[in-house]
Amino acid sequence: MSKSKPNPAPGAEPPAYTVVARRYRPQQFAELIGQEHVANALVNALKSGRVAHAYLFTGARGVGKTSAARILAKALNCMKSDRPTATPCDECDSCRAVMTGDDVDVLEIDGASNNKVEEVRDLRQNVGFRPARGRYKIYIIDEVHMLSTSAFNALLKTLEEPPEHVKFILATTEVQKIPITILSRCQRFDFAHVGPAKIFDQLKRIVEREGHLADDDALRLVARRAAGSMRDSQSLLDQLLASAQGKLTTEQVSAVLGTAADDRVIELARAVIGGDARAALDLIAAWVDRGLQIGELVDQLVEYWRALMLVSCGGPEVRELPVSSNQFEVVKTQAQSVSLDTILAGLEVLTATKARMRGSAHTQVLLEMAVVRLCRLGDLRSLDQLVQALSQPGVQSAVVATGAGTPAPTRAAAPVPVAAEAAKKNGPLAGALTAKPAENGSPNNGTSTVPLSESTLQDVWNRFYRYAGERYPILAKHLNSVSSYAISAPNSLVIRFPSSYSESHDTCSAETGSLRLADALKKVTGQTIALRFERDRAPNSQPLVREAQPSLASRGDVKQLLPSLPLFKKALDLFGAQIRQVDDGFNPFAAPPKEAETKDGTDEEG
């Protein structure tokens, strides 16, 4: 009579559980999900016999670096093949030992705990011994960037010229910390982040093989939360399967992750886009009371705003969006009601908030501040609007955006002092220099613009020069060097400078100068006039304003004109100052000195 197998003793420990991430670790190159470029390169190297002596695998956590290193080790030492093979059998003693981490010829070294130079010296001594049973002795050094500088230096020579029976496989998540001398001795392979679609497919296969049920939306949520890491997604799935009762749903995933449900995120986004800060803050307060994680909520908002950006740029047929299926239709609708600049500004606010939360104990306050800023994005003025508002004549205070989006009232500009009229015989620029300034800050006496034509050219130039002097005194001073101006085509004006006045020409023709002068000319004519700046090719060309200098030579005339300059005008307004004395030779209205020197070596009088 045979004996029956004894039952386990009461209270005996059940068999050890192996987590999903280990049980579903890739065992063949074809199973490396998302790393096909690395797998193909290694397979081709094995088939052609061009296997390098040192490899460096770099990439984010959980993307398959260590798994690829173990597969390569099995391929090199598989005992069922008489040479390295691209498809290890996973059945021989060598393959099984590598899978369990017990192979005496495949040494996995943790770089974080073996980072001293002494450990590397021991490694150098051991590489001389041949493998016990395999073809190669393989060293897999994980987190190799943790080695000290001395350890890296001790490894250099061995890594460059190891014995024929030795292979090195280095793995790291921070390749920028590895010395260039190490990088140059290895073949480098960069492991990419795994896409959410590929992670979802793998999670679905795992759920089916485990005999569980799960909603597709729940698995897609897990795939997005993994942030490109296959191991993170499998670890999270393992946790969810252990805690879920029955079918895995999105509600259960949100409860475990501490995230808000999709409809709640839509509700918050609707309040933010509508500018309802009170409703948005109430939603946040209610979610915090329910125990939701602030950091996870910020991540959800970043993904939602990214989806808005993608739809706004590429339309509804854009590639896979980082949102669930029930959020997709709402995202398409909301993307049409918000400008792309507003969406980008919102992304800037959210990503900056996420960065500020690290190490901060006031995460809820940071999130509330971010949400309030998002609600106010519609009230803010763009930079172009501010520049346009500030460029209006007579504006002396900054334009402030109010809650209704209207500029705050500004103080009217004081009348500009009137100077004596110059004689017409002093030339066109002199007439513009001393003509009566515009009233109320307008270049046209607050009445109308003057279209540019041959008959109005002189009047347009005088008004243009006067307005430029009020708005841009430095540019107006360079305009003193103009030798001639003419209409070159409809709505086109050419301004010429003497060849020796290159500084004035370059300043006015530069992008900033030309834009400001074009704006001043548009204020005068009411038209968009194309400006072209040239060097006068006529011999001995001179600035037109030189004829007007005698009328400005006396200190009395200069003293009368100084209050029209912005600097002096502001001093008079703010401090009640008076101009009592003008030194000899001080004449800010004169043309700039000529750059070239005269024949006797002295500077030409300006």
Which residues sit opposite 200 in a β-bridge?
none
Asked whether the predicted pLDDT for residue 425 surpasses 70, the reply is no
Report the alpha-carbon distance of residue 504 to residue 481 in Å, rounded. Answer: 7
Report the alpha-carbon distance of residue 88 to residue 94 in Å, rounded. Answer: 10
Report the alpha-carbon distance of residue 185 to residue 581 in Å, rounded. Answer: 78
CATH fold of 424-575 reads: GMP Synthetase; Chain A, domain 3 (3.30.300)
Closest CA to 419 of 433, 409, 401: 433
Report the alpha-carbon distance of residue 117 to residue 282 in Å, rounded. Answer: 58
Asked whether the predicted pLDDT for residue 460 surpasses 70, the reply is yes
Q: Half-sphere exposure of 276 toward its Cβ, with a 13 Å CA cutoff?
A: 11
Asked whether the predicted pLDDT for residue 553 surpasses 60, the reply is no
Q: pLDDT tens across 22-60, in order? A: 898 999 999 999 999 999 999 999 999 999 999 999 999
Mean pLDDT on 310-327? 73
Q: pLDDT tens across 148-167, in order? A: 999 999 999 889 899 999 99
Asked whether the predicted pLDDT for residue 391 surpasses 80, the reply is no
Is the separation of the CB atoms in 417 and 564 below 8 Å?
A: yes
Q: What local confidence, expressed as pLDDT, does residue 133 receive?
A: 87
Q: What local confidence, expressed as pLDDT, does residue 27 receive?
A: 92
Exposure class string for 426-439: b at 16+ Cβ within 10 A, else e: bbbbbbbbbbebbe
Domain extents in the chain: 20-191, 258-380, 424-575
Q: pLDDT tens across 167-214, in order? A: 999 999 999 999 999 999 999 999 999 988 899 999 999 999 988 888
Higher pLDDT, 262 or 354: 354
Q: What local confidence, expressed as pLDDT, does residue 523 receive?
A: 87
Q: At 484, is the pLDDT very low, low, confident or very high (cuts 50, 70, 90)?
A: confident
Mean pLDDT on 337-357? 89
Q: Which of 269-278, 281-290, 383-392, 518-527 has the lowest mean pLDDT?
A: 383-392
Closest CA to 311 of 301, 322, 302, 298: 322
Q: pLDDT tens across 101-149, in order? A: 888 999 999 888 888 888 888 888 888 889 888 899 999 999 999 999 9
Is the separation of the CB atoms in 425 and 500 below 8 Å?
A: no
DSSP string of 517-534? HHHHHHHHHSS--EEEEE
CA 339 to chain centre: 19
DSSP string of 294-362? HHHHHHHHHHHHHHHHHHHHH-TT-S--SS-HHHHHHHHHHHHHS-HHHHHHHHHHHHHHHHHHTT-S-
- Give the CATH architecture of domain 20-191: 3-Layer(aba) Sandwich (3.40)
Q: Hey, which CATH number is domain 258-380, 3.40.50.720, 1.20.272.10, 3.90.1150.10, 1.10.1040.10?
A: 1.20.272.10
pTM of this prediction exceeds 0.75: no
Q: What local confidence, expressed as pLDDT, does residue 65 receive?
A: 93
Q: Which of 215-229, 398-412, 473-487, 523-537 has the lowest mean pLDDT?
A: 398-412
**What is the DSSP secondary structure assignment for residue 8, as one 8-state letter?**
P
CA 100 to chain centre: 44
Q: pLDDT tens across 58-84, in order? A: 999 999 999 999 999 999 999 888 899
Q: What local confidence, expressed as pLDDT, does residue 387 receive?
A: 60
- Using the Cα atoms of residue 563, residue 569, residue 574 and residue 575 in order, give the sign of their dihedral: negative
> What's the alpha-carbon Rg for the chain, to the nearest Å?
39
Report how far apart, in Å, the C-alpha atoms of 159 and of each of 140, 186, 193 are: 12, 8, 28
End-to-end CA distance of the chain: 128
Q: pLDDT tens across 522-547, in order? A: 888 888 888 888 888 777 778 876 54
Higher pLDDT, 568 or 404: 568
Is the separation of the CB atoms in 94 and 71 below 8 Å?
A: no
Q: At 14, is the pLDDT very low, low, confident or very high (cuts 50, 70, 90)?
A: low
- Angle at which helix 36-48 crosses helix 65-77, to 10 degrees, equals 20
Report the alpha-carbon distance of residue 107 to residue 411 in Å, rounded. Answer: 80
Report the alpha-carbon distance of residue 427 to residue 544 in Å, rounded. Answer: 7
